[in-house]
Amino acid sequence: MTIYSANGSNTTIRERLGLRPIINVSGTMTALGASIIVPEAIAAMSEIASQWVEMDDLQRAASTIVARLTGGEAGFITACCASGITMAIAGAMTGTSLLAIERLPDDTEGLKSEVIVQLGHIVNYGAPIDQSIRLAGASTVPAGTVSVTQDYHVREAIRDRTAAGLYVVAHHTVQYGMLSLEEFCEICHARGVPVIVDAASEYDLRGFLARGADIVVYSGHKFLSGPTSGIVTGRKDLVRAAYFQNRGVARAMKIGKESIAGTMAALEAWEKRDHVGIRQREEAALNLWKDALQGIAGIGAEIIPDPTANPLNRLQVFVRPESRFSAAGLASALAAGSPPIIVRNHEVERGHFFLDPCNLHPGEAEIVAERMRAVLSAERPADAMKSARKDTAGVLRWPD
C-alpha cells in the first residue's frame, strides 16, 4: 500500500487505501470524515505546513478573524467543538490562574466546578456532552426534566459552586419545552453565571452572542467546511481563560498550525461563499431525489426544513411496509450498494430517514437518485425488513 502518489497517478487515495468510495448524504459526520474541505482551506494548510510560526501569534491573527465574523471580543481555534466546550468550562473554573489550570481536572479545590445544563440538552454527538464537562473536572447539574424545564429549575440549581450554564443548540436536543437562550441567559446572568453555547453545527455565527451568550463554540468542519477544528468566541476574559487551557487539560486536545490556518481560510471563504447558488444546487438535488421516489409503493418523500432553522432543507423519506423494506433495511441496502450511499439514519426506528444535500460532489446527486430507484426495483435483500437495533458488534471488532 502506497499512500502518497505523485501527480499523474491514475488511482485515488481512497483506492490506494482500500476505502469504500462512499457518497455522503447524511450530513457533516465525524465518522465519515466531517466535511469536504473548501479549496481555500486546503491551500492555506498546504502553504503553512512547511513553515515555522509562533503559535500564539497565529492564534492572535485567528482571534481577529473570529471576532470579525462572530462579533465576539476575541476568539481562537481548537481541535474541535467538543474540546472547545471543555476549554470554555475549564476557563470558567480557573480564570487566568495558571496554577489552577495545571491542577485540573481532578484537583478542583476552591474552584467553582458545577455546570448547569437543561436535561433535554444532555446530548450525545458521538460522545456524551457531560463527558466534555467532566474532562474539565466539573460536574453536570441537570435542570428540569426531559420534556420540560422551567425557570426555577435553573434558578434554584445555581449555587456558589456554579461555574457556568451550558446551552446546546442542535437537532439532537429536545426541540420543545426547554428554556429559550434568552431566558437561560437572563437567569444565569442575574447570578453572575456565564453562559456557554454549544452551536457546533449552526450557520449563524453572530446570533447567539447577540442574544446574550458569553462564549459560543462552533465546529470548524461542519457547515464551514474547514479542517477538523473548533472555534471559540465571545467575551475576552472568558476566551482568554479558555485559551490558557492549552497549558493544561487542552494539551491533550492540541490543534496544529495547519488546521488553525485552514480554519481561518474557511472562515474567510464563508464570508465570500455563494450561499444563494449553493442553496439552489441543494434544492435541485432534493427535487431530483423526490421525483425519483415518486410512484414507488410504500415510499413517501417530503422536503423539510432544518430543525434548528439553518438555511438548509433535507428530504425526509418515509418507508412503509408496502415497500417491503423497513427504513433501517433500505438504509442498509443503500449503504451496501455500489457506490455505497450513506443516509442520515438517526431516526430510522421511526420509519424514516433523511437525505442531506450539503456535502455532494458534482454528479453525486444523480447517482443517489439512480441508486435509490435501482435498490427499490430490485429483489429485496434478506434483511430488507430488519428492525433498527442499536448494534455495536461491528464497532467492537476494530481494528479487525
Ligand X SMILES: *Cc1c(COP(=O)(O)O)cnc(C)c1O
For ligand X, the closer CB: 76 or 289: 76
The three grid cell numbers given for residue 252, joined into one nine-digit string: 491533550
For ligand X, the closer CB: 219 or 233: 219
Residues 290/301, Cβ–Cβ less than 8 Å? yes
Residue 211 CB, nearest approach to ligand X (Å)? 17
Residues at the site binding ligand X, with contacts judged by CB under 6 A: 30, 80-82, 123, 125, 168, 170, 172, 198, 200-201, 219, 230
Residue 122 CB, nearest approach to ligand X (Å)? 11
For ligand X, the closer CB: 82 or 342: 82
The CA distance from 242 to 167, in Å, is 17
Residue 125 CB, nearest approach to ligand X (Å)? 4
Q: Which residues pair with 117 in a beta bridge?
A: 142, 166
For ligand X, the closer CB: 162 or 228: 228
For ligand X, the closer CB: 143 or 376: 143
For ligand X, the closer CB: 153 or 172: 172
Residue 119 CB, nearest approach to ligand X (Å)? 15
For ligand X, the closer CB: 172 or 352: 172
The CA distance from 167 to 220, in Å, is 19
Distances (CA, A) of 217 to 195, 209, 297, 376: 11, 10, 44, 41
Q: State the CB neighbour count (10 A cutoff) for residue 146.
A: 13
Residue 18 CB, nearest approach to ligand X (Å)? 25
Residue 198 CB, nearest approach to ligand X (Å)? 5
Terminal C-alpha separation, the chain: 17
Residue 81 CB, nearest approach to ligand X (Å)? 3
